[in-house]
Chains A and B, each alone.
Chain A
Amino acid sequence: MNFDGYDTGGFHDEMFLPDGTPRPEARLLVDRIEGLPPGELLRRHQTAERALLTTGITFAVYGDEQGAERIFPFDIVPRIVSRDSWDPIERGLRQRVEALNHFLQDIYHERAILRDGVIPADIVESSAGYRPECIGLEPPRGIWCHISGTDLVRDRDGTVYVLEDNLRCPSGVSYVLENRAVMTETFPVVFEGLQVRPVADYPSRLLSMLEYVAAPTTHRPIVAVLTPGMFNSAYFEHSFLAQQMGIQLVEGRDLVVEDDHLQMRTTRGFEQVDVLYRRIDDDFLDPTCFRSDSMLGVPGLMDLYRRGRVALVNAPGTGVADDKVVYAYVPKMIRYYLDEDPILPNVPTWLCWHEKDRRHVLDHLADLVVKPANESGGYGMLIGPASTEAERRTFAGLIEASPRNYIAQPTLGLSRVPTRIDQRFEGRHVDLRPYILYGREIYVLPGGLTRVALKKGSLVVNSSQGGGSKDTWVLSC
Chain B
Amino acid sequence: MLSRVAESVYWMSRYIERAENVARVVGVNNQLQHHLPGLTAEQWDPMVKVTGDEGRFRASYEAASRENVIEFLTFDAANPNSIVSCLTRARENARSVREIISSEMWEEVNRFYLFLHEADAPRRALADPHPFFEHVRRSSHLIEGTKNETMEHGEAWHFSRMGRYVERADQTTRILDVKYFLLLPSADDVGRPADDLQWSALLRSASAFEAYRRAHGRVAASLVARFLLFERDFPRSVQHCINAAQLSLHAVTGTPLRRFANSAEQTLGRLAAEVDYTDTADIIRAGLHDFLDSIQHRLNSVGNEITRTFFAPRGRAGTGQ
Q: How far is the CA of A242 from the CA of B97 in the complex (A)?
A: 10
Check A267–B1 contact: CB distance below 8 A.
yes
Contact indicator B95/A267 (Cβ below 8 Å): no
Q: State whether the Cβ of A121 lies closer than 8 Å to any Cβ in chain B.
A: no
B130 to chain A, nearest CB (A): 25
Q: Among B49-57, B98-106, B167-175, which stretch is in contact with chain A?
A: B98-106
**Ranked 4 nearest A-B pairs via Cβ:** A243-B99, A242-B99, A239-B98, A269-B318
How many Å from the CB of A182 to the closest CB on chain B?
Answer: 13
Q: How far is the CB of A110 from chain B (nearest CB, A)?
A: 41
| A54 and chain B: residue at smallest CB distance | B107
- Chain A residues 232-289 with CB under 8 Å of chain B are 235-236, 239-240, 242-243, 247-251, 253-254, 264-270
Q: A54-B114, A268-B319 are in contact. Are A243 and B2 (CB under 8 A)?
A: no
Tell whether A267 pairs with B317 under 8 Å between CB atoms, given A53-B114, A230-B95, A235-B95.
yes
Query: Using a CB–CB distance below 8 Å, which chain B residues touch chain A?
Result: 1-6, 92, 95-100, 103, 106-107, 110-111, 114, 155, 159, 252, 310, 313, 316-319
Question: Is the beta-carbon distance between A268 and B114 smaller than 8 angstroms?
Answer: no
CB–CB A248/B2 < 8 A:
yes
**Closest residue of B by beta carbon distance from A263:** B316
B99 touching A239, Cβ below 8 Å: yes
Q: Which chain B positions have C-beta within 8 A of A239?
A: 95, 98-99
Please, which residues of chain A bring their CB within 8 A of the CB of B252? 267
Known contacts A54-B111, A267-B318, A268-B319; is-contact A254 B3 (Cβ 8 Å): yes
- State A235–B155 Cα separation when bound (angstroms): 24
Q: A225-B99, A254-B2, A266-B318 are in contact. List 12 more A-B contacts (CB 8 A).
A: A55-B107, A55-B110, A56-B107, A235-B95, A239-B98, A243-B100, A247-B99, A249-B98, A266-B3, A267-B252, A267-B318, A268-B318
A239 to B94, CA, bound (A): 11
A235 to chain B, nearest CB (A): 7
CA separation between A147 and B306, bound complex, in Å?
40
Q: Is the interface of A mostly helix, strand, loop or mixed?
A: mixed
Chain A 371-409, CB-CB to B under 8 Å as 1, else 0, gives: 000000000000000000000000000000000000000
Q: Which single residue of chain A is at the shortest CB-CB distance from B155?
A: A267
Residues of B within 8 A of A225 (CB): 99
A residues engaging B (CB < 8 A)? Answer: 53-56, 225, 229-230, 235-236, 239-240, 242-243, 247-251, 253-254, 264-270
Number of A-B contacts (CB under 8 A): 72
User: Closest CB-CB distance, A426 to chain B, in whole Å?
Assistant: 30
Report the minimal beta-carbon distance from A338 to chain B, rounded to whole angstroms: 38
Q: Is the CB of A266 within 8 A of B98?
A: no
Report B315 CB to chain A, min CB distance, Å: 8
Q: Would B2 and A265 count as touching, CB distance under 8 A? A: yes
User: In the complex, A381→B265 CA distance in Å?
Assistant: 61
Are A56 and B110 interface neighbours, CB within 8 A?
A: yes
Q: Closest B residue to A264 by CB, please name it.
A: B2
Chain B residue with Cβ nearest A235: B95
Q: Specify which of B3, B95, B99, B103 is in contact with A265 (CB 8 Å cutoff).
A: B3
**A264 partner residues in chain B, CB cutoff 8 A:** 2
Indicate whether A254 sits within 8 Å of B98 (C-beta atoms), given known contacts A269-B318, A270-B316.
no
Bound form: Cα–Cα A56–B4 in Å: 22
Q: Shortest distance in angstroms between B317's beta carbon and chain A's nearest beta carbon?
A: 7
Contacts of B5 in A (CB 8 A): 248
Closest to B93 in A: A230
Taking the closest CB of chain A, its distance from the CB of B234, in whole angstroms, is 30
A269 to B252, CA, bound (A): 13
Residues of A within 8 A of B100 (CB): 243
Cβ contact within 8 Å between B310 and A267: yes
